[in-house]
Amino acid sequence: MGRFYSLSNTNLKQVELVELVAGQKFYVVHEIETVCSISYHAPFTGGCEVRLPVGFEFEIMHSPVPDATGVACRALEYERWERALVPADVRAAVDYGGFHLVLLFDTISVDCKLISDAT
**Residue ranges per domain, the chain?**
3-116
- Distance separating the N- and C-terminal Cα atoms of the chain: 20
Would the pLDDT of 10 be above 90?
Answer: no
DSSP string, 23-46: T-EEEESS-EEEEEEEEESSS-EE
Residue 12 confidence (pLDDT): 52
**How confident is the model over 36-44, as a mean pLDDT?**
88
Residues 11, 32: contact at Cβ < 8 Å?
A: no
Nearest CA to 76 out of 100, 51, 58 is that of 58
Q: Is the pLDDT of residue 9 over 60?
A: no
pLDDT 10s digits, 44-99: 788 889 999 999 999 999 999 988 889 999 999 999 999 999 999 999 999 999 99
Alpha carbon dihedral 102, 104, 107, 112, in 10-degree steps, equals 60
